[in-house]
Structure 1
Amino acid sequence: MDFLINFVIITLFICPIIALIHESGHAFFLKIFGAKVSEFSIGNGDILWRKNNFFIKKAYFFGGRVVPENHEILSKNQRVFFYLGGVLFNFLSSLVLHLLTGYEFLVFRNYLDSFIFVSYLFVVINLIPLNTIIGATDGKQLVELYRN
């Protein structure tokens, strides 16, 4: 029963927060490079809630998306930072918490440890260049950027 409760808490609460941090990294680099964000969403599927260009979608626990409005103004190097922004934010947030809490790898004492572990997992998964059911990972987009 503990496994099921932990799974639900991680899926419904921790994963959306990690996705929010990830997408904030993408949006951060768009903003500092002068591009606009046309869509910032958490989750996938139909829109559950909307405020301006921020969306929470029905599968809010499953990824997210930042869509640049005018990404053509970005240089190739700026696009690299845009694609890596989510991974950088996930890594930095988990590293800071890791250092502050004395997290031990694969030792889950509380939900904060689960947050740190899943954040590191997001970093690794997003760097693998592959297509998923919700689109290309950041790693795949970086590979495509350098191929073109």
Structure 2
Amino acid sequence: MFGFQDIPKFFLAFFVVLPVISFLHEGGHVFFAWLMGGKNIKVTVGTGDVLFRLGMLEVRQYYFWYGHCSFDNLKRKQRLAHILIFSGGMLFNALSALAVMYLVEKGTVEAGMLTYQFTYFSMYYIFFALLPMPYPDGSYSDGKYILDLIRNRPKAEYIYRIKWNKENEQWQVLDNKNVVETFHDEDKALARAHELAESHRPSRLLHTKNGEEVEVFNYPKVPL
């Protein structure tokens, strides 16, 4: 039964243990994204205003709630690569929980409230990440993305292009085949195309060079 003496344990779980588990979860996604050649990798722990940044890590005001990672321009984009990236968070949570249980079993670490909370909430994270369900904001759980990838039903990619129009002497930014905006400066057109592609993940950005379309960037869907 939960009593007044358990209140400090409650704060310990939510303000110390959960943020650590969240960081490990995002670290798993990031590890496999890095392994697949991802660039611009960033891990965010918490929500609200930014407290501090340290390399790729960003810690926000409410550090104990929520977390996500982001990355761009994967070199390896096969189905298996995406399955590994979306599985990475659960895998790191499972490995860290097993490591703690092993250390407790061997007597290296003393069993206590911290070890109990760590293994309990790690399993909590794994269960809800693995559950294949949609979220209210339209995003999916890791398990839902993995299931769709296994069934070969990946989320449709947006294709953005920049192309030189000789007749009007201007650069066109296209959403698939439809002209979105036009620019006289190539850099401005490219910047706008990047902005659109990044805000509509998963997406690819193509540039027509010497009559041939070349992918210059891709923005994969990122896990939570």
TM-score (norm 1): 0.84
Q: Which runs of 5+ in 1 are unaligned?
A: 103-107
Q: Which moved more, 1:38-47 or 1:88-97?
A: 38-47
Q: Tell which has more relative contact order, 1 or 2 (C-alpha 8 A, sep 6+).
A: 1
Asked if the contact 2:46–2:59 (Cα under 8 Å) also holds between the matched residues in 1, the reply is yes
> In 2, Cα distance between the equivalents of 1:45 and 1:142?
29
Look up the SS of the partner of 1:68 in the other structure: strand
* 1:140 matched to 2:164: no
Taking the TM superposition and a 5 Å limit, the aligned residue runs for 1:1-148 are 1-71=4-74, 73-102=76-105, 109-132=112-135, 135-145=139-149, 146-148=152-154
Runs of 4+ in 1 over 6 A off after TM superposition: none
Identity %: 27
Structure-2 separation of matches of 1:72 and 1:133 = 31
The CA distance in 2 between the partners of 1:131 and 1:138, in whole Å, is 10
Greater strand fraction, Structure 1 or Structure 2: 2
Q: Which moved more, 1:44-53 or 1:82-91?
A: 44-53
Q: What secondary structure is seen at the aligned counterpart in 2 of 1:67?
A: strand
Partner of 2:116: helix, strand, or coil?
helix
Cα 1:88–1:11 shift into 2, 3 Å: same
User: Which one has a bigger Cα radius of gyration?
Assistant: 2
Contact 1:25 1:85 in 2 (8 A): yes
Shift, 1:37, TM fit: 4.0
Is the contact made by 2:37 and 2:74 (CA closer than 8 Å) also made in structure 1? no
Alpha-carbon contact 1:37-1:66 (below 8 Å) kept: no
Q: Determine the C-alpha separation between the residues in 2 that align with 1:81 and 1:111.
A: 29
Distance 1:92 1:70, change over 3 A: same
Q: Judge conservation of contact 1:126–1:138 (CA < 8 Å) in 2.
A: yes
| TM norm structure 2 | 0.58
